[in-house]
Chains A and B, each alone.
Chain A
Amino acid sequence: MFPRIVYESFRRQARRKVLAGIAITLGVAVATAMIAVATDIGDKINRELRSYGANLVVTPQEDTLDVEIGGVNLKPPSDGAFLNEADLPKIRGTFWHHNIVGFSPMLPVTVKLGGSSAKDVTLLGTYFNKALSFGKDDFTTGVRITHPWWKVACGDGKESPNCGWPADDSQNILLGERLATKLSQKPGDTIEVAGRQLTISGILSTGGAEDDQIVAPLALAQQILGKPGAVRRVYVSAMTKPPDALSARDPKTMTPEVYDRWYCSPYVESIAYQLQEVIPHSHAEQIRQVAQNEGTVLSRIKGLMLLVTLAALFASALAVSAAMATAIYERRVEVGLMKALGAGNLAVSAIFFAEALLLALAGGLAGFSAGALLAHQIGRSIFNSQISIEPVLFPIIMTIAVFVTFAGSAAAIRRAVKFDPVFALRGEG
């Protein structure tokens, strides 16, 4: 009898059931999309924060002081220690290599320009977009990834085969914006640098010290300096976890368990520690301007999205319970009839809860799929990347859907059951 009542109720009142089902579907869809976005927003914003540039710098352990004002290096060129370029691909071998977005080696060399102006200029050797491999892992890295605000302009504003970012194995260079104006050079010209004729492949604009410098492929800078494989420092851009009480502790004072937890969390400190492990004789340090602030910004945005998600969950819970309450309130006559025929409160409630359960499961399933689609759309249109729905979210969402539907129906069911059957049947309510 019980299944038949429920079945007939769905068959005969299909329109009402569809309305309640739609409300549940919409509510669950919004909840799913918001939870998916909120759980993924940290990772997404972390990637956007990488546009502030590298947050770690690796220098030789035995380095001498930098003597540099406004980007002009005043130190004798061969002074100080160097890192070995051959060690760099090992950065991809660290525990957190998936979190390392990119790295760029830097080798500043003071050079003399030929021609009329025999002035000293800094030539900076680096990777632009260099293809490297570590083990079976092929990847590209360089300033185009770690320094996204660097822009290369050509005279006519368009990139052509002769103008743009130089290849990493070429003898072409980029000329800083202000230096180019000073020397009145343009892309395609050749310029004598340290006795070599080099082609300018573009004008570099960074808004920083590089605007007064020449930027060249690393190999070229090494040739000019006469030190193959030398690198002065390496900038590393890594996605990190905001600092907390554990991150600030000194690994030397930790117990083995705490140390493992610290080592296996992507704190900027633990990534720096791991970089030091793979690059011999190096010292890795966080660039505090970038590293410290991104933690603050990230936790603010995550906190905001969490609160907004709570608001969304609250609103969709209300919408579902309002729809259920309306649907049940309309069926008091039925309740009156059932009770007049001798049904107990429990039996009547059971029927309504069974119906609510079916509605919640159907609406929850449809809502979950719709919400996944919605999250996907949000990810695509805002972040240009996938927002992945964790499979573990499905049972959680279904539980929430059933719980909210039950909670929303409970008050209405109680009122419907308490209603005097005589009044209900007489149609007075």
Chain B
Amino acid sequence: MPGSLHTPKQVADRRAGSPHTSMFVRMLIRAAVLRRGRAASALLAMIVAAAVATAMMNLYVDVQAKLRTEFRSYGANVVIVAKDGQSLPTDALAKVESVLGAKTLAVPFSYAVARTHDGQSVVVVGTDFARARRLNHWWKVSRWPGAPNEALIGMRAANVVSPNHQPFELSFQGKVIQLAPAGMLQTGAGEDSRIYLDQSEFQSWTGVAPSTIEVAANGTAVEVEASIRQLAQVLPAAEIRPVRQIMEGEANVLNKTRATLYASATLVVLTSALCVLATLIGWVLDRRRDFAIMKALGASERLINGFFATEAAALGVVGAIVGFFIGIGVAAWIGRANFHAPVVPRFSVLPYVLAGSVAVALISAILPIGLLRRVQPAMILRGE
């Protein structure tokens, strides 16, 4: 019979045998266990608010990095040019990569003007196709060259040199080269009038070494500035220019997006704090009878405040920690859904979420206690 476990003697015996816990702790635990429904709904509100806040903070920090990666698909933001039509030193590319790290994309270009069989001038460019392909995502290429003596031909150049996709020859200072068209290149800009060759083939034909290196430097505007200064030190013979069109456009769009996201994140965090406030105030007000009984049994004001404050703080801590992990999951999902790359969890956000949750919980516990303090316990107990 379960009822027999609750005779006063049995309860007293059981309690005497169990390890001694202070009244304070026992009250806290029993309050949570006995009023499971209300405690759970308050905790749920806390968890949801903390999760939303965490997700927003994580996104706010990470989205800028994500967007910057997107902006890199606009191509090079730094250009290294040899001064006055000379070539860059042969180790220039290696130097650039050693300064900026191997992850940075740097693509060499060399230029020459060749003649077609009917004497028309055409610009021929030597480059590294594998790198150019990664740098210039927007190039619309029907097929990248793979075999020797294959060339990538701009749309407009193709009409002149190889209208029917047939092999053609070009001459540079009397030296003639036979080329097969691999694919067509379409960009809508100057590239459409050019013919692209592999750098080593280009160099053995014309003897012209790269005169330009295009670099996609990662990082914030300040970091890119620093990269430019470093490059200027290792390559004193070259001119290093930021591509203002790309840099300014990026800064502009990024700033506006960041500001919008900041405003939205603030609104969302405030709304979820409001949600917690409403729920917790209801929870505490709902327990005014507990409050009255404690007071009637002689509990001091300090003890009661301490009791409700500890309870609120415990709720805040548990809610914040559970919510933090859910929020990280949400942020990662948003990153995957929108940017196809997960948002890296940032544990540096945890202290803020924790502090914010506890603060909101404390405020929502102390506000109603202030109201209740003025009321006589007898009134509450009489149900008025």
- A→B interface (CB under 8 Å): 23, 26-27, 30, 33-34, 37, 41, 44-45, 48-49, 51-53, 56-57, 63-70, 74-75, 147-149, 205-208, 285-293, 296-297, 300-301, 303-305, 307-309, 311-312, 314-316, 318-319, 322-323, 325-326, 329-330, 333, 374, 378, 381-383, 426-427
Contacts and interface: CB of A to CB of B under 8 A. Distances in A.
A53 B245 contact: yes
A293 B121 CA distance: 32
B356 to A, nearest CB: 14
Interface string B176-193: 000000000011111011
Contacts of B130: none
Interface residues of B, number: 81
Contact of A312 (B247, B271, B289): B271
Contacts of A288: 138-140, 186-189
A311 B333 CA distance: 13
A181 B278 CA distance: 67
B342 interface: no
A378 B241 contact: no
Nearest to B339: A300
Interface stretch (B51-59, B164-172, B345-353): B51-59
Counting from the closest, the 10 A-B pairs by CB-CB distance are: A326-B282, A427-B383, A207-B244, A52-B249, A319-B275, A288-B138, A66-B193, A285-B188, A315-B271, A287-B188
A312 B55 CA distance: 12
A313 B253 CA distance: 25
B123 A378 contact: no
B246 interface: yes
Given A30-B267, A315-B52, A315-B275, A70 B138 contact: no
Nearest to A371: B267
Contacts of A286: 188
Contacts of B122: 65, 67
Nearest to B48: A318
Contact of A52 (B48, B74, B189, B212): B74
Contacts of B263: 37, 378, 382
Contacts of B71: 293, 297
B285 interface: yes
19 contacts: A37-B264, A45-B253, A53-B249, A57-B188, A64-B120, A65-B160, A70-B81, A70-B212, A74-B121, A208-B245, A288-B138, A289-B189, A292-B138, A301-B257, A307-B337, A315-B272, A316-B271, A322-B278, A329-B286
A315 B269 CA distance: 8
Given A57-B188, A289-B74, 14 more contacts: A26-B274, A30-B268, A57-B189, A149-B249, A208-B245, A287-B187, A296-B73, A297-B67, A308-B59, A308-B265, A308-B268, A329-B282, A330-B282, A382-B260
Contacts of A70: 81, 111, 211-212
Contacts of A378: 260, 263
B247 to A, nearest CB: 8
Which of A311, A374, A378 counts the most B-chain CB atoms under 10 A from its CB? A311
B70 interface: yes
A33 B267 contact: yes
B333 to A, nearest CB: 9
B156 A63 contact: yes
Interface of B: 41, 45, 48-49, 52, 55-56, 59, 63, 66-67, 70-71, 73-75, 81, 111, 113, 120-123, 136-140, 156-157, 160, 186-190, 192-193, 211-212, 241-249, 252-253, 256-257, 259-261, 263-265, 267-268, 270-272, 274-276, 278-279, 281-282, 285-286, 289, 330, 334, 337-339, 382-383
Contact of B257 (A30, A45, A290, A330): A45
Interface of A is mostly: helix
B264 to A, nearest CB: 5
A289 B193 contact: no
Contacts of B52: 311, 314-315
Contacts of B249: 49, 51-53, 149
B256 A67 contact: no
A307 to B, nearest CB: 5
Contact of B138 (A23, A41, A208, A289): A289
Contacts of A326: 278-279, 281-282, 285
A322 B275 contact: yes
A381 B255 CA distance: 12
A418 to B, nearest CB: 13
A381 B268 CA distance: 19
Contact of A304 (B246, B256, B261, B383): B261
A288 B154 CA distance: 13
Contacts of A48: 252-253, 256
B271 A206 contact: no
A389 to B, nearest CB: 16
Contact of A67 (B192, B193, B242, B253): B193
A205 B241 CA distance: 11
Contacts of B281: 326
Which of A23, A304, A330 counts the most B-chain CB atoms under 10 A from its CB? A304
Given A288-B140, A322-B275, A382-B260, A300 B123 contact: no
B256 A44 contact: yes
Contacts of B189: 57, 287-289
A207 B242 contact: yes
Which of A208, A292, A303 counts the most B-chain CB atoms under 10 A from its CB? A292
B248 A149 contact: yes
A68 B211 CA distance: 14
Contacts of B45: 318, 322
A267 to B, nearest CB: 14
Contacts of B63: 304
Contact of B260 (A41, A53, A148): A41
A149 B192 CA distance: 24
Nearest to B285: A330
Contacts of A75: 121
A300 B278 contact: no
A33 B138 CA distance: 36
Given A65-B156, A330-B285, A303 B67 contact: no
Contact of A297 (B70, B121, B139, B276): B70
